Amino acid sequence: MKIAVAGKGGAGKTTFCATYARLLARTGRQVVAIDGDTNPNLHAAIGIGPGATLPPFLPASLVARRFDGPRLTETIDEVLTNYALATPDGVHLLRMGVPRHADEGCMCSAHATVSALLAELDRDTEHLEADHTETITVLDLEASPEHLSRGTARHADVLVLMAEPYFRSLEAVRLQAALAAETVIDRIVVVANKVRTADDGAAITQFCERHGLELVGSLPWSDAVLDADAATSSLLDHAPDDPVVEAVGEIMERLMVRAEPVKASMDAGVQG
């Protein structure tokens, strides 16, 4: 299963992806987390501290164009061996290529590499632990809708759109949901984030109902998220009992099955 996470800049994508990936790994699933942002930060949110040796970026040479479309030049096992870093809880972290110099042009090849990788990630990963039975991929996308126009996330099974209870964030969700609806992504869902009050929750609930979007859960506002970042720590390590961690765990279970939209009041779990 492949889950991509998108939304406006600052909407909480990276914190959600990092926490989600590690909680998934704790259930016994093998998890691959891909930082699909050309300004990468997933490693810090997932628990890799300053000064740690990071994995190399995925090179454009990993993709070759063939008659049947772009394909990887290395097997998934080779990609994970050569370019992934085992992070806390055993999550395997991969990082999309980034600009090396100013004025060097678009990042088309970096997006194409991630797209080809997603297309082949359902194949066996022999070098990972044999007792795992399911591989889940979590892709942290950049704020721009470019990942949809370039088809970077076209092979995802689920697209999660992070929504804050503010006009600009909801407008970004509306735009990206419309673009995603033109792709072959099977399921498009919304996660509400930074919900402080019942009114915040109601605003996002009404937005989803108005646009026919599936709402799968809500994350309350939490100062612990900011404190963890200031401490250069992951939320899961800094505040493992924080309500956001609990809420991410609940959303994780809902995304593992085809669920009906969550239309219950979203003030549950909102911090007073």
Domains and their CATH numbers in the chain:
2-255 (3.40.50.300)
Residue 146: band (very low, low, confident or very high) from pLDDT cuts 50, 70, 90: confident
pTM equals: 0.87
Q: Give per-residue pLDDT as tens, 181-220.
A: 998 898 999 999 999 999 999 999 999 999 999 999 999 9
Q: Give per-residue pLDDT as tens, 209-227.
A: 999 999 999 999 999 999 9
Q: Give per-residue pLDDT as tens, 96-124.
A: 876 575 766 566 778 778 888 888 886 54
Q: What is the mean pLDDT of residues 80-99?
A: 89
Higher pLDDT, 248 or 99: 248
CA 22, CA 228: separation in Å to the nearest integer? 16
In one-letter notation, the amino acid at residue 16 is F
Write out the two tokens for 270: 């909102």
Q: What is the mean pLDDT of residues 65-91?
A: 85
Write out the two tokens for 23: 């909680």
Contacts of 98 (CB under 8 A, 6+ apart): 38, 39, 40, 57, 107, 110
Task: Identify the CA nearest to 265 among candidates 221, 211, 200, 187.
Answer: 200
* 151, pLDDT greater than 80: no
* 256, pLDDT greater than 50: yes
pLDDT of 63: 84
Residue 137: band (very low, low, confident or very high) from pLDDT cuts 50, 70, 90: very high
Q: What is the mean pLDDT of residues 5-27?
A: 95
CB 123 within 8 A of CB 76: yes
